[in-house]
A and B are shown apart, each in its own frame.
Chain A
Amino acid sequence: MSDEEVLRSHRFTKGAEPEFVTHLITCGPVERTWEAGRPILAAGDTADRLHLIVEGDVAIGLQAPGGPPAVLQTLGPGDVLGWSWLMPPYRWAFDATAVTAVRAITLDATRLRAAMAEDPVFGHALLARLLIAITDRLQATRLQLLDLYGPRR
């Protein structure tokens, strides 16, 4: 499949208008792969790309001083990785590491921000889709914090 076909079949673009995907394509989609164990993003680095995971599992975590990295969540095929490129100072807040071999379509953040500013309809559509992913992740984190399977309090 071409990068365009992969983009069109990704969960992030499910149900989107064809123009939305066409717009994404102008933002330089590039397929990238990582071997298991390789870092994908590092906290503090410049947040320069949006990643749409196509295959494999990605661990989101942070390096804890004096200990092994703490993994907070894992992401899988169909998930969005990284939205720190949306807001200044455009730096990743967490580390992301490939748990298994990972394949993703990545888009250039500078071009995405320019396209959003240039075409508010596209900008709104992209933000709406990112907001769904962000909300899902926030809800999942809240459920994790509830420790639902733990002892009743």
Chain B
Amino acid sequence: MAPVADVGITTREVIGFTRETADSITLTIEDPEARGFTPGQFYMLYSFGVGESAISISGDPARPRAIEHTIRSVGMVTAALSALRPGDRVGVRGPFGIGWPVDVATGGDVIVVAGGIGLAPLRPVVSHVIGARHRFGHVSVVVGARAPSELLFRDEIHEWRGRFDLDVRVTVDSADASWMGPIGVVTRLIPGVEVDPAKTIAMVCGPEVMMRFAAAELERLGVSPDRIFVSLERNMQCAAGVCGHCQMGPFFVCKDGPVFPYSQVAPYMGVRET
């Protein structure tokens, strides 16, 4: 069962900072209560005097006292959060939302498909799987980035690739001659993944267009849409399914998601927001 969110805001100390790429960083925030989280859940992080933003948890669920968030600086709030350093304090609410179906996936095969910053909410899944590797079958991690310099968690991916029990594939959309790996969109790597579709759970996160095409490739492999899970991003404000900002069809992304079975949300993905 997912940890119950604390709706009230509390202040926490930033205890770690890592620069991932030119515009992305990882903050580690202390949770003295060690309440834990389910991979895929998120926190509302508040930069005092600037504003609040929903940020997914990117750390290892086995480290509940040190909650990691990987943040891409794209606006005022994320820029302010990215400027925090160890010793600074930040407002937090959470953890919120329905996470990845790691329990359902236990005992079967797993495909993780991540594009860009979408690797952040999927990193806890990979950490969880590695921590309980004997409980899963064939595990594939497929990662796409815009360029080699924009690849998140490079050292960790290098470690994953060194394991004999993980099939890790990485591609970039463009690269110079120094990049020796695949070039092309992440969806092109999916047909090469070995799966037993009937016992596979796929977890996909990235830009919504990418997720739709990834889901189509997974369906071509034989994975049914109710075994494909996607994490959606909408304008989340209250994080409790009250304000309605993140409503998508009959769902509130903050409360009913952000992780959904693709079969449930496919009709609403690609619908133009007004």
Contact = CB atoms under 8 A, between A and B. Distances in A.
B162 interface: no
A71 B174 CA distance: 8
Interface string B164-182: 0000000101111100111
Interface in A119-148: 136, 139-140, 143-144, 146-148
A139 B145 CA distance: 17
B56 interface: no
B134 to A, nearest CB: 29
A143 B187 contact: yes
Given A73-B183, A99-B180, A149 B192 contact: no
A99 B184 CA distance: 14
A144 B171 CA distance: 12
B183 A59 contact: yes
Contacts of A69: 177
Nearest to A71: B183
Interface string A42-68: 000000000000000101000000001
Nearest to A151: B74
A68 B207 contact: no
Nearest to A61: B183
Given A74-B183, A144-B184, A150 B146 contact: yes
Which of A140, A148, A152 has its CB near the most chain B CB atoms (within 10 A)? Answer: A148
Contact of B74 (A144, A146, A148, A152): A152
A114 interface: no
B257 interface: no
B184 A149 contact: no
Nearest to B179: A71
A77 interface: yes
A72 interface: yes
A19 B181 CA distance: 37
B77 interface: no
26 contacts: A11-B191, A68-B176, A69-B177, A71-B177, A73-B184, A73-B188, A74-B182, A74-B183, A77-B192, A99-B180, A140-B184, A143-B187, A143-B213, A144-B174, A144-B184, A146-B209, A147-B146, A147-B173, A148-B207, A149-B115, A149-B116, A149-B144, A149-B145, A149-B150, A149-B173, A149-B206
Interface of A: 11, 57, 59, 68-69, 71-74, 76-78, 99, 136, 139-140, 143-144, 146-152
Which 9 pairs between the two chains have the least Cβ-Cβ distance? A149-B116, A149-B146, A148-B207, A73-B184, A143-B185, A74-B182, A74-B183, A140-B185, A140-B188
Given A71-B183, A73-B184, A139-B187, 17 more contacts: A68-B177, A72-B183, A73-B188, A74-B171, A77-B192, A143-B187, A143-B209, A144-B174, A144-B184, A146-B209, A147-B146, A148-B115, A148-B207, A149-B117, A149-B145, A150-B146, A151-B74
